[in-house]
Amino acid sequence: MESLQAEAPHASRHTLTAPKITFLGAGSAVFARQLITDILHIDGLDEGAFALVDIDERRLDLARSIAERLVALSGKQWTVTASTERREVMAGSDFLVNTIEVAGLANVRYDYEIPLKYGVDQCIGDTIGPGGIFKALRTGPAWLDILHDAERLCPRALVLNYTNPMSILTLAALTQTSMATVGLCHSVQGTSKQLADYLDIPYAELEWRCAGINHNAWFTELRHHGEDMYPRLRERAREAALYERDPVRFEVMLHFGAFVTESSGHFSEYVPYFRKRPELIERYCRAGYLGESGFYANNWPRWRELSDIYIQAMLDGAQDIPQERSHEYGSYIIEAMTLHRPTVIYGNVRNTGLIDNLPDGCVEVACLVDRNGVQPTHFGRLPEQLAALNRSHMAVHALMVDALRLRDREAARYALLLDPLTAAVASPAEISALFDEMWEAERASLGYFE
């Protein structure tokens, strides 16, 4: 495997009194609606431009209509433009928000059903494992094309990536383009709130340190007024009612010593312990996001339809339009950079010595954000057992970036051979056959590699 290229430094920033924010994949209108709502909540940021891009004209029109309604409700002086052709609207963007979905509807059943034939049982399957690897193969080429356009049209823009597989796509951006990019998730802030609830303490009083990789970041410290909260959390985890709310994560904490940022169901796919035999799935996995087999594949197409219905109901007046600012980091980054209000977020960035015992790759750490952009902070060493779990996935990420960079199908095959859950279930020959079967089923979406 060739070494990764050097990351380009962040461009210097200046005061932006009326920023231009371009949403790529804006047809996922519920998510775009929330981020636009968040941005319009920024006190003192009273004007700017939203540019919405999606290749689906119907969904783009929904996104444009709800964006215009939100601006009208805010009373602020923001403009809204929309286009199915990104090059028409990207020029001059200060921020690019990426939420694209590439060929998901056409392949979501393949991502779940073909691996299941080989014993690989996925709950979500869009970030790691067979489903995540093939989503990266479908999404990565379009993602890099977008960023190469950005290099020409808005080279000073900060890219906020929300699309999964987070670590693979963000690492590709950081190593294969010159665009300043940060990957954003809500797992750190969401899990920290859950932990405060589990510990029955006010969220504002919970202190923590957290680092790792996306969906595999670790709360290495939990404190309340300086007191270590892990003894209390371990004691509470033995209460059946609480344990049932997060069984896989509590098991991992009890045996590995730290609580992880991703939900029990999704995290059960990241490690080889919980989904490799039917009796283990029955013991540790529950309905829905707690580990249900095929939960994403069986529900996501309908969720997508319902999101469109939900947006249309808001436009028709049959549904109230939520006005609350969310805990998504995007608007806080924009506020910090445009209005010089420093903040701290947890971002997915390149490991330039930030976590001492993890290799070069994409890591999730605390980052200071101010007028100079997103500035990752040094964490130090993770406990070795936690770093080891992270490294197994970072090797997969590096191979997938090689697959995209070199148009190398075999690098993607090696990535699947190294996936922890897949390797726990199937032999190398079976994994190779699984890979080939998925490739044939999804070939129409993999033309970049042909």
Which residues are marked as active site?
Answer: 186
Q: H or E element: which one contains 398?
A: helix 384-406
Q: Nearest 10 degrees: CA dihedral of 253, 258, 261, 267?
A: -40
Strand 180-183 and strand 158-161: pairing?
parallel
Provide the b/e sequence for 122-138 (b: ≥16 CB within 10 Å): bbbbbbbbbbbbbbbbb
Measured in degrees and rounded to the nearest 5, phi and psi for residue 160 equal -110, 105
* Distance (Å) of CA 32 to CA 23, 28, 136, 387: 7, 6, 22, 34
Q: Which residues, 6+ apart, have CB-to-CB distance to 70 below 8 Å? A: 33, 36, 37, 40, 321
> What is the chain's alpha carbon radius of gyration, rounded to the nearest angstrom?
21
Q: At what angle do helices 384-406 and 409-418 cross, to 10 degrees?
A: 160
Distance, in Å, from the CA atom of 3 to the CA atom of 75, rounded to the nearest integer, reads 51
Q: Which of 350, 302, 28 is nearest to 170 (CA)?
A: 350
- Torsion angle of C-alpha atoms 234, 236, 241, 244, degrees rounded to 10: -20
Q: Which of 306, 301, 305, 300 minimizes the C-alpha distance to 288?
A: 300
* Residues whose CB is less than 8 angstroms from the CB of residue 40 and which lie 6 or more positions away in sequence, other chains included: 70, 71, 74, 76, 78
* DSSP tally for the chain: helices H, then strands E: 17, 13
Could you give the C-alpha distances from 268 to 203, 212, 260, 273, 443, in angstroms and in order? 26, 17, 11, 8, 28
Residue 371 and residue 360 in contact, taking contact as beta carbons nearer than 8 Å = no
- What are the start-end ranges of the E strands in 91-245? 95-98, 158-161, 180-183, 206-213, 216-224, 227-228
Q: Is 255 helix (H, G, I), strand (E, B) or coil?
A: helix
- Do 209 and 220 contact (CB within 8 A), yes or no? yes
The overall longest dimension of the chain from CA atoms, in Å, is: 61
